[in-house]
Structure 1
Amino acid sequence: MLPLAGVTVVSLEHAVALPFATRHLAELGARVIKIERPGRGDFARDYDRAVRGGLSAHFSWLNRSKESLTLDLKVPGARAVLDRLIAGADVVAQNLGPGAAARLGLDAATLVGRQPGLVAVDVSGYGPTGPYRARKAYDMLVQAESGLIAVTGSPEQPAKAGFAAGDVAAGSYVIEAVLAALLRQARSGAGAALQIAMLDALTEWMGYPVQTVEHTGTEMARSGISHPSIAPYDAYRTADGDEVLIGVQNDGEWQRLAEGPLARPDLAADPAFATNQARVRNRARTDAVVADAVGRLRTAELEAGLDAAGIAYARVNAVADLLAHPQLAARGRWVEVGSPVGPVRQSRPVVEFPGEPARLDPVPAVGEHTERILGEVGLSAGEIAELRAAGAI
């Protein structure tokens, strides 16, 4: 049995941050009931049509193993259905627009005030208080506010992270918070009204740049693919045209690199390169001598030499390379999951429990489980038909 079997999560969710969290809770065994708008559903369904030309890549990634229930809370009757669901839930989460949940009485504090044993989570961009509390927040905006964009990219040009870093950071803390709250709930019966803000999450993930600026007073320079405080720690092109990222962590490794793969034992004791501080001061020269030596080697030769010298390295892969990655293939990390457009390839859950089959239920169609869930909370076929006629579901 998966550890969250028997736990019911009702989630008023859209986009990325909260759906990321609830998908992982579902894979730990929770029943996740996703509340969507009738008709179009979660607007992440419309971000693109990349999956078989009919399903958003975002939605496919974030929503397997959930049940979809459509409810329009502006239509009479729909709120009563939601209240019945919440009464039977262990966890309720929402990432509606700023102030929307509070206006509906669905914010975490209000829900736990009515249902003291409930774990309730509000996910927002900037938190429920402070001057930014009413601002809309999307991932790239929070990356900008947090300083992540300022430290990412080349010296000439800043860049956002290549994935939804603010959303994933916030979603990760939702998972952590819910699991901790469920543990306390099991021990004492106490619920929890939890607040997770994207800016708070990314601020935590910005710890190294924050500490550096706090204690030096100097903004960190963008360093592209290289490490800002270690050299050599950069990508170099082989004679085959492959980019290989080489990471030297200490002076002993530098000596082994110079004497082995680079075939330049003279560099090991040269004062201009002997210590990391010297190599960083002379970064351009360091990179030039490494690049020259690497450029003379075939990729297989370089990797064999790095392995023999005990130096860490990695190919700079494209996403297509990741899809064909031999390590993932060897470990069976790709699976097929059902969806409204047919089977789609996805990665296995990161966390799997020995002896328990991974939960890999399909990505749901909009409202796919509506009638079944309404029947479970006691509505008759006639009442369901009335709600549908009124546009409530």
Structure 2
Amino acid sequence: MSVKASILMSSAVGFGLIAGIAQAEEISVATVNNGDMIIMQKLSKAWEQETGNTINWIILEENVLRERVTTDIATGGGQFDVMTIGGYEAPIWGKAGWLTPVDDLGDDYDYDDLLEPIKAGLTVDGKLYAVPFYTESSFTLYRKDLFEAAGIDMPEQPTYDQIKEYAEKLTDKSKNQYGICLRGKPGWGENMAFLGTMVNTYGGRWFDMDWKPQLNTEPWKKAITDYVDLMTKYGPPGATANGFNENQTLFASGQCAMWIDATSAAGRVYDPKQSQVADKVAFTRAPVEETPAGSSWSWSWNLAIPASTQKAEVAKSFLKWATSKDYVKMVGESEGWVAVPPGTRKSTYALTEYKEAAPFAETVLEAILSADPAKPTKDPVPYTGVQFVAIPEFQGIGTFVGQQISSALAGQQSVDAVLEAAQAQVTRDMTRAGYIK
């Protein structure tokens, strides 16, 4: 038996089964195609060996995953037994009765070890409807070697004006070196996740207190104009196709001087097995402009069980395994401590091995805990959510606006034109939905 196999087998010990599972079952698990979830898929053989159950994995690109699981959950299709969903969907779907509560994973699960703001965001009327697999905020990753060579010092709290200045100095397209990489792929959880925070810190908001859209206001125009300008002059070609995974690949291969994105990327870009610049990376806070409010996002990827499943007990066994303290240790021992899922359990940040391997750990934890979904903007708003609006209609609204902005990034329309079109469409949507009287 290999060393890695021994680790998997030994780490599996102690993941007690939830009582009542009488015979082996196959469950279907839908998840996103990012690094943390790929590790979960790889290590899940330990759970299969211990329980005798098996997993049918459905691994999907982020936008496709959202579309597939949303359709399935809304229609009660029953295609999946476990879903990977975000902090946006969990409370909405839980309130609608579409998810199975997961408060009963056992005392040994140690619910008190979960970070309180994250747990609270997954709870509706006292019931927990999903458990966090990893949590993230956003921050600025940058190449300290390129900054030093250019004689630039990255401040602890950069502004977007400074980011533009640095991006210009650090762009050398003859070397495939781009000053900045940012999300351009359209989608409410892709380009709009980043752009939502950029609009926030420029002083903008999605809606005023009467739910009237604010998409053609000056803060939106200035934020989106600066974004298009940054990416057109200093970003990589084909940016409208680049989401989180694509930009992570560009950064890890040395093509980006700066990248503003999810804190969950840190474990991979600092990992020499996955990153060519692992020893050249530094990090600082997400940039601000007019206000610090909402400048970095608050997001969790969570495991949930649809109410339509016929295999809830087996699904709970898997959830308990994949989000436990022991799973964190299994990842550390098998894949390296820098790779453990961040931002879910207090105990992770007490592990000496993790603190030594992950110089970014405290910064990430601080960013996660400091994001305030209840106060995401400079001016008051009727919604919660930093980089999204926690209403069911936001999926369609956010994706439409993301598509419009992507067309501006591609040079097909002006920023003013796309924001006027977005304002008109979102006003119609909110009126039909009854928000605007």
The alignment's TM-score, normalised by the length of structure 2, stands at 0.21
The alignment's TM-score, normalised by the length of structure 1, stands at 0.23
Q: 1 or 2, which has the higher helix percentage?
A: 2
Q: Which has the larger radius of gyration?
A: 1
